[in-house]
Every structure is written in C-alpha cells, then in structure tokens.
C-alpha cells in the first residue's frame, strides 16, 4: 500500500520583527517543518514499520527549492521519497488559498493513487486548517479531521480514529479507506532524525514538478483570496509590565500574588 503525507515548510516569526507591506522580511523568519506535519509523518512511518506488507510513504509538498532542506527531514525520519511542486504562478500568489492547494494535491493524488493520505490539522503560518478535508472531498476519499489517535494496520479496509473535540471529549469514528486524515499533535512521539537517517535522506528522491508537469495551468492556482493588509494586532491590553532585573520584577510579582490573596502564608 501507499501512504501520502502532505508536508509544509512553515515560517515562524522571531521575537522582534518588522512587517514590510504584505509580508515579514525574510530576516525575521525561521523555517521549519510544520509541527502538525511532523506528527503526520511519524504516523505514516509507524504504519509502514509495523506492516507485514510493503508500504511506501511518499511526502508531498508545495514549496520553493529552499524547502527541500526541510522536506529532507521527513525523508530522514523514514519517508521513502518526496514530490515537490513549485511554479512561478504559485510564487506570485499573495495568499495561496485552500482551493489552489487542493487543485495541486488533487493531481498528486491522481498520480500517486495512495490508499491513505495524512495531513497536519493546520499549518502554523497561514493556519487555514482546511486542506485535508477539502482534498478528501475533491478526490472522493473518506476523511476525518483532528485525529489524535489512529488504529490502523497496513492493508485494513477501515481505520478507527479518535477525533479530539473541544473540552476533553473525543469522538470515536470508523473511516473506510481510501481516506484523508488530518493529524493532531500528541498522537505519537515524533522521532528525531538519526544521523544515519539524515545520511540516507541525501540519497532519496525529491522529484520537482511544476504545474504543467501536473497537467495544470496558472489559472488552477489563481486563488480567490487576496491578502490586502498585514499588521501587528492592536493590543487592547493595559497590562502593567514590571521593568527591571529578575529580583526586582519577581518582588513586584510576589506583591501582586500576596495582594490577590492566592499565596498561602
């Protein structure tokens, strides 16, 4: 069987940063594998490792050449190969919306014909939280979103999942395959890439594709959402900030705690 994992290199913003028009200057960004995707990769690799049959794990990403560095992390952790899609038409989008992403992944699914697709619940940067379920709908797969427990062995025709609802309630659901599951953090313990894994990853294939390779044209990724402003949120806070060294600020904080009467004598 084959498992496709969608992975994304996401940017995190440093403590101090400046916004330049509609983006944050590169100087203030740090790139990493999306936290939720890390758990999705681990879930896929665990299924492959525990399988009696051959399971291929393919990582698929939409990202510029730079992102290969991050995608190699997924390969170092056990994915067999990767597909990377990029195109000038994608680079031009101010905001690469859900529909555009799904149009790309739809073609990847058509090429790869996976039995199971794992995605992260959301990407830490744009936080749409919609790609997995929209993709499932587009390709006619079953789905489940926000999965924090997965009971599935390679070859099974159904997966039993727990969906983590609000307030500490979990829903238990049986999903037929083929399916797309969006994976929540905490479902497993993502491994660190071993040195051996990192070395092996260098030999693994990251196949670059542009839109025409996938039979798409630029219009397919011309999203309906346009970013028009980016700014630091206006703080409504009137927080009292204690200034000074650790002793000084701790003393002021201790006074507040005493005043509120929450610290026992």
Ligand X SMILES: Cc1cc2nc3c(=O)[nH]c(=O)nc-3n(C[C@H](O)[C@H](O)[C@H](O)COP(=O)(O)OP(=O)(O)OC[C@H]3O[C@@H](n4cnc5c(N)ncnc54)[C@H](O)[C@@H]3O)c2cc1C
22 and 229 Cβ atoms separated by less than 8 Å:
yes
Q: Using CB under 6 A, which residues numbered 94 to 123 contact ligand X?
A: 121-122
Instruction: In whole angstroms, give the CA distance from residue 175 to residue 178.
Output: 9
Residue 62: which of another protein, ligand X, none does it interact with, CB under 5 to 8 A by kind? none
Crossing angle of helices 131-139 and 98-112, rounded to 10°: 50
> Are the beta carbons of 83 and 108 closer than 8 angstroms?
yes
Site track 137-166 with ligand X (rule: CB under 6 A), x = hit: ---------x--------------------
- In our burial notation (b when 16+ CB lie closer than 10 A, e otherwise), range 73-88 reads bbbbbbbbebbbbbbe
Question: How many whole angstroms separate alpha carbon 11 and alpha carbon 18?
Answer: 14
Say whether residue 146 binds another protein (CB under 8 A).
Answer: yes
Is residue 224 at the binding interface for another protein, with CB under 8 A as the rule?
yes
Binding to another protein (CB under 8 A) within 37-76 occurs at none
Nearer to another protein, 75 or 216 (CB): 216
Name which of 99 and 213 has its Cβ closer to another protein.
99
Distance separating alpha carbons of residues 19 and 45, to the nearest angstrom: 38
Residues 164-203 that bind another protein (CB under 8 A): 164-176, 179, 182, 184-186, 189
> What does 144 bind: ligand X, another protein, none (CB cut-off 5 to 8 Å by kind)?
another protein
Compute the least distance from the CB of residue 199 to another protein, in Å.
27
DSSP 20: E
The binding site for ligand X (CB under 6 A) comprises: 121-122, 146
């Amino acid at each position: 069987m084959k498992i496709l994992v969608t992975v994304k290199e996401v940017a995190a913003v440093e403590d101090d940063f400046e916004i330049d028009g509609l983006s944050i200057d590169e100087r203030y960004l740090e790139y990493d594998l999306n936290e939720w995707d890390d758990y999705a990769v681990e879930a896929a690799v665990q299924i492959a490792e525990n399988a009696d049959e051959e399971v291929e794990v393919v990582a698929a990403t939409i990202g510029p050449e730079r992102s290969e560095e991050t995608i190699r992390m997924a390969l170092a952790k056990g994915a067999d190969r990767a597909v990377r899609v990029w195109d000038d038409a994608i680079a031009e989008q101010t905001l690469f919306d859900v529909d555009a992403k799904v149009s790309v992944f739809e073609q990847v699914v058509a090429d790869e014909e996976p039995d199971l697709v794992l995605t992260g619940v959301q990407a830490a940067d744009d936080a749409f939280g919609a790609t997995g379920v929209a993709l499932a709908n587009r390709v006619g797969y079953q789905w489940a979103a926000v999965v924090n427990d997965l009971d599935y062995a390679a070859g099974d025709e159904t997966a039993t999942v727990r969906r983590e609802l609000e307030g500490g309630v979990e829903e238990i659901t049986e999903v037929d395959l083929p399916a797309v599951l969006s994976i929540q953090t905490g479902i497993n313990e993502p491994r660190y890439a071993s040195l051996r894994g990192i070395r092996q990853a260098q030999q693994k294939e990251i196949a670059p594709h542009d839109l025409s390779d996938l039979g798409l044209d630029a219009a397919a990724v011309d999203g309906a959402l346009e970013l028009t402003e980016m700014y630091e949120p206006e703080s409504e806070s009137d927080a009292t900030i204690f200034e000074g060294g650790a002793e000084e600020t701790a003393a002021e904080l201790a006074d507040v705690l005493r005043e509120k009467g929450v610290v026992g004598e």
